[in-house]
Structure 1
Amino acid sequence: MLILPASSTEYLHVPVTAPPGVDVTGAPVRIAVVAHRTSPADNEWGVAEWAEGAARILIGPDSGLPLAPGDYRVWINVDPAGSENIVRKSGILTVT
């Protein structure tokens, strides 16, 4: 679990472990940070970027993803070449 203050603008880093035999290098990656317990809707995904082997997205009041205090589920979506499209719940983010 990660805890961040609502006043902080910073990158949320999500480690990515690909399934055996799947190369995610340079693959499109998206992150969703949602307050509900179901899979994210299409409009809840934000475009992320790769940084040092992890996906990251900027969150906070000075970003496109401001978050009110509460608990959020973090999801990642990686679309490598081929037929796979990987969607996983990555953890819990608590905003104070």
Structure 2
Amino acid sequence: MANLRKTHPLLKITNDALVDLPAPSNISIWWNFGSLLGLCLIIQILTGLFLAMHYTAETATAFSSVVHLCRDVNYGWLIRNMHANGASFFFICI
């Protein structure tokens, strides 16, 4: 019986692009690590831009803006947590 990931039309596309990707021998694990750090940095920039849209510089309303972000903005709690945990992960990996 043939392998399903090599015979199914949709799975064959993903198999050729991700699993059996021909790559030169000089690419090591550090290339993968660097691309993950690059992805982490892009996520940091994007979530930082979304968080900056709800930023207030006044000390009287700063906590209220965080509460507004977590309660009223769609998936605001997720954006805030991704930004905080992504920063920690990024600096641990550097």
Bigger relative CO (Cα 8 Å, ≥ 6 apart): 1
Tell me, yes or no, whether TM beats 0.5. Answer: no
What TM-score comes out, normalization by structure 2 length? 0.23
Structure number with the higher helix fraction is 2
What TM-score comes out, normalization by structure 1 length? 0.22
Structure number with the higher strand fraction is 1
- Greater CA radius of gyration, 1 or 2? 2
